[in-house]
């Protein structure tokens, strides 16, 4: 199935809930220690932002809503319902036709939790599993066990949120092929519709980054990590989870409406501290400081503290390159009709990447080769 390009009237919403019980050693997201007393203020901040966005929203078609974090499931179902009610006041949408995802951490959710969030309007669960190996979960400083991970997926399905995506991680210190095979099999034995695969990275500012030299000694070799990835791709394909993007796999019809918007250039509002928006060709970012965010929203001011607009060619290159992440590649004619013509210089660079076997052109589509998927960062740095 070909995922269609977003129409100009389409829009998505992202809500960033920055609270976590504890920060994982590898996490580079904007996260603060959970403080229940701030939950209500954050929700009020979201409401102020929705009200500010309402004049734009009322003319648009809502495709997806995503509650990410952090750990959004630390908020109550009533908070989520309050936010969704405010969205309903700003933009007409049918909840059953709109993908409404929330991220969950396995340690903090039971069947009852999922049931409450389903009643509040959530129809897709993104569960942060990472691994089904207790020793690796411990080394990742995660708070849940493999059993908790399994239970969370089953609880979500039993509560009626049966559109379930999970995250899995490879290239973890101490990870073996046997452990990875077990994680893959356990994952696909569960009732999931979608899966995202990541390799562990050491980002500046994280505690893993500070311990990088010691942890690196325990990492699988590059060759082993590549085998883990390719083995996972084969395994998922056999289990009908098709690779539709470099790191995303889905059963037929269950690709992420929200994430494909990021890859195909759909506009979105990001609400909450540190959230990005993409509107009118501009990238905007809210302040990362939670207190400042709450204060600005309370006083009716905009929390945006950064704004940039790429020039025409830069914008086109970025969109073209990100669209290449999708397995379907870029349909040249459709892309040019929807956005703008691809410059001759860009096409020369594409031809050069084809010669190096990073890209291929099949008829009217340009897509990554297997080598291009493995070395996407190199492709991106040539094109952007
Ligand atoms: S649970 Fe997720 S968002 Fe929270 S600290 Fe861990 S990795 Fe980061």
**Does 103 share its domain with 207?**
yes
Question: Residue 353: inside a domain, yes or no?
Answer: yes
Spell out, as residue ranges, where the chain has pLDDT lower than 70: none
The answer to the question of residue 246 being in a domain is yes
Ligand 1, closest atom to CA 28?
Answer: 8
Residues 254 and 355 in one domain: no
Decide whether any atom of ligand 1 lies within 6 Å of the 274 Cβ. no
Domain membership of residue 269 (yes or no) is no
Domain boundary among 263, 285, 314: 263
**Structural domain tally of the chain?**
2
Is the ipTM higher than 0.90? The answer is: yes
Same domain, 202 and 349: no
Ligand 1 contact, 29 CB (< 6 A): yes
Residues 340 and 194 in one domain: no
- For ligand 1, atom 6, the nearest C-alpha belongs to 24
CA of 136 to the centre of ligand 1 (A): 15
- Are 217 and 363 in a shared domain? no
pLDDT of residue 266: 96
Predicted pLDDT of residue 33: 95
| Residue 174 forms part of a structural domain | yes
249 domain-assigned: yes
* Residue 283 belongs to some domain of the structure: no
73 and 148 both lie in a single domain: yes
Same domain, 331 and 253: no
Clarify whether residues 193 and 73 are in a common domain. Answer: yes
Q: Are residues 220 and 72 located together in one domain of the fold? A: yes
Counting atoms of ligand 1 from 1, which one is nearest the CA of 70?
3
Domain limit, last residue, from 220, 247, 263? 263
**Residue 105 beta carbon below 6 angstroms from any ligand 1 atom:** yes
Distance 244 CA to ligand 1 centre (A): 25
Same domain assignment for residues 247 and 353: no
Q: What is the CATH number of the domain that holds 195?
A: 3.80.30.20
Residue-level pLDDT at 362? 87
Q: Is 69 in the pocket of ligand 1 (CB under 6 A)?
A: yes
Q: Which of 15, 16, 17, 20 to mutate to test the pocket of ligand 1 (most atoms within 8 A of CB)?
A: 20
Q: Is the CB of 23 under 6 A from ligand 1?
A: yes
Q: Whose CA is nearest to atom 5 of ligand 1?
A: 23
Residues 248 and 120 in one domain: yes
Domain range for 216: 10-263
- Tell me whether residue 120 is in a domain: yes
Most ligand 1 atoms within 8 A of CB, residue of 17, 27, 137 to mutate: 27
What tens digit of pLDDT does each residue of 217-234 get?
A: 999 999 999 999 999 999
HEC states along the chain?
A: CCCCCCCCCEEEEEEEECEECCCCCCCCCCCEECCHHHHHHHHHHHHHHHHHHHHHHCCCEEEEEEEEECCHHHCCHHHHHHHHHHHHHHCCCCHHHCEEEEEECHHHCCHHHHHHHHHHCCCEEEEEEECCCHHHHHHCCCCCCHHHHHHHHHHHHHCCCCCEEEEEEECCCCCCHHHHHHHHHHHHHCCCCEEEEEECCCCCCCHHHHCHHHHHCCCCCHHHHHHHHHHHHHHHHHCCCEEEECCEEECCCCCCHHHHHHHHCCEEEEECCCCEEEECCEEEEECCCHHHHHHHHHCCCCCEEEEEECCHHHHHHHHHHHHCCECCCEEHHHHHHHCCCCCHHHHHHHHHHHHCCCEEEECCEEEECHHHHHCHHHHHHHHC
228, 263, 298 - which closes a domain? 263
In this structure, the answer to whether residues 32 and 155 fall within a common structural domain is yes
Does residue 137 belong to any structural domain of this protein? yes
**Of 29, 200, 208, best ligand 1 pocket probe by most atoms within 8 Å of the beta carbon:** 29
By most ligand atoms within 8 Å of CB, the mutation choice from 128, 152, 274 for ligand 1 is: 128
Q: Cα of 19 to ligand 1 centre, how many Å?
A: 9
């Amino acid at each position: 199935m070909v995922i269609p390009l977003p129409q100009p009237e389409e829009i998505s919403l992202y809500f960033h809930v920055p609270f976590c019980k504890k920060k994982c050693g590898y996490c580079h997201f904007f996260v603060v220690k959970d403080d229940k007393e701030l939950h209500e203020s954050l929700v009020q901040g979201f409401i102020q932002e929705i009200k500010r966005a309402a004049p734009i929203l009322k003319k648009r078609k809502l495709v997806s809503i995503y509650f990410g974090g952090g750990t959004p499931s630390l908020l109550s179902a009533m908070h989520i319902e309050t936010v969704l009610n405010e969205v309903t006041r700003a933009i007409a949408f049918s909840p059953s036709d709109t993908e409404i995802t929330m991220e969950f951490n396995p340690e903090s959710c039971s069947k009852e939790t999922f049931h409450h969030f389903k009643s509040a309007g959530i129809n897709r669960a993104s569960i942060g599993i990472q691994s089904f190996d207790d020793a690796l979960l411990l080394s990742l400083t995660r708070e849940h066990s493999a059993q908790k991970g399994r239970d969370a997926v089953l609880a979500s399905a039993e509560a009626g949120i049966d559109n379930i995506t999970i995250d899995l991680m490879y290239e973890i210190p101490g990870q073996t092929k046997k452990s990875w095979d077990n994680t893959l099999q356990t994952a696909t034995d569960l009732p999931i519709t979608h899966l995202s695969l990541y390799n562990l990275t050491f980002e500046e500012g994280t505690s893993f980054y500070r311990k990088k030299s010691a942890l690196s000694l325990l990492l699988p070799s590059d060759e082993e990590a590549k085998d883990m990835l390719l083995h996972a791709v084969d395994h998922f394909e056999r289990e009908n989870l098709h690779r539709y993007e470099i790191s995303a796999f889905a059963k037929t019809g269950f690709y992420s409406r929200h994430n494909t918007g990021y890859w195909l250039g759909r506009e979105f509002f990001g609400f909450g501290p540190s959230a990005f928006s993409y509107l009118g060709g501009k990238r905007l970012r809210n302040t990362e400081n939670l207190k400042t965010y709450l204060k600005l929203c309370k006083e009716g001011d905009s929390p945006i503290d950064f704004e940039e607009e790429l020039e025409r060619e830069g914008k086109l290159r970025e969109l073209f390159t990100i669209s290449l992440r999708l397995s379907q590649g870029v349909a040249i004619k459709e892309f040019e009709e929807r956005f703008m013509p691809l410059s001759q210089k860009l096409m020369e660079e594409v031809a050069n990447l084809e010669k190096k076997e990073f890209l291929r052109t099949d008829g009217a589509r340009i897509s990554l080769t297997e080598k291009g998927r493995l070395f996407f960062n190199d492709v991106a740095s040539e094109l952007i």
